[in-house]
Amino acid sequence: MKHFVITISREYGSGGRLIGQALAERLGIDFYDKEIINMLMEESGFTRETVEEWQEKKTSSFLYNLYMSTQERPLSDQIYLAKTRVVSQLADKSSCVIVGNCGDYILRERDDVLSFFCYAPLEERMERVRTVYGENPENMPNYVKKVDKKRSDYYNHFTMNRFGDYHNFDACMNTSIGLELTTDILENMIRGVFGGTEDESGKCTAGK
């Protein structure tokens, strides 16, 4: 079957990562999210602590000025470039689902990619963060909004697109309809574009 890559960008708490995992399992393909951190460590040569701190942090004006004076790229720039290489290598290697990591932008010029954006009402996202992700900060609304802002600031800084802009995706899904139904809809779309059928066990053979 045809080689394909699925990218999922998402608001925090919308369930995008869970949907990505379910899609990868149904389609029998690889799944990448936090796994990319280990690959970034190998690609960049930085420690886990450095990668985790800087992989979603944009360069401050101070660091940019420091870069201009030393002619060395700031850590965030170096890690983003490493991320670009890692995501591209994963897309070349095999059919897969890539969550976050600016995957939709990095792979935007490929014709074997479908990119999705997941969003949901704030109340539902807060409930999922609390009950599914196991996080219970004192000010949940501010916490969720802060994570969203961090993601959007990083994405907007390193790409030519705007975080969550529907023009940049093949479909934007309000996951308040339910994660399983959202997964069903996206799976049908993927099969319709790239082919693939279910075997007797119900497992999709697309991309194999």
Phi, psi of 172 (to 5 degrees): -115, 125
pLDDT at 48 over 90: no
Q: Give the model's confidence band at 207: pLDDT under 50 very low, under 70 low, under 90 confident, else very high.
A: very low
- To the nearest whole percent, how much of the chain has pLDDT over 70? 83
Q: How many residues does the chain have?
A: 208
pLDDT digits (tens, 9 = 90+) for 190-204: 999 998 654 434 444
**Residue 58 per-residue DSSP state:** P
Which residue type does 184 have? D
What does the pLDDT read at residue 70? 44
More confident residue, 169 or 70: 169
Which pair of tokens denotes residue 76? 């965030």
Give the global pTM. Answer: 0.84
Q: Return the pLDDT at 35.
A: 87
pLDDT average, residue stretch 115-130: 98
Q: Which of 36-45, 80-89, 93-102, 152-161 has the lowest mean pLDDT?
A: 36-45
* Residue 58, phi then psi, degrees to nearest 5: -80, 165
Q: State whether residue 152 is helix, strand or coil.
A: helix
The answer, yes or no, to whether residue 57 has pLDDT greater than 90, is no
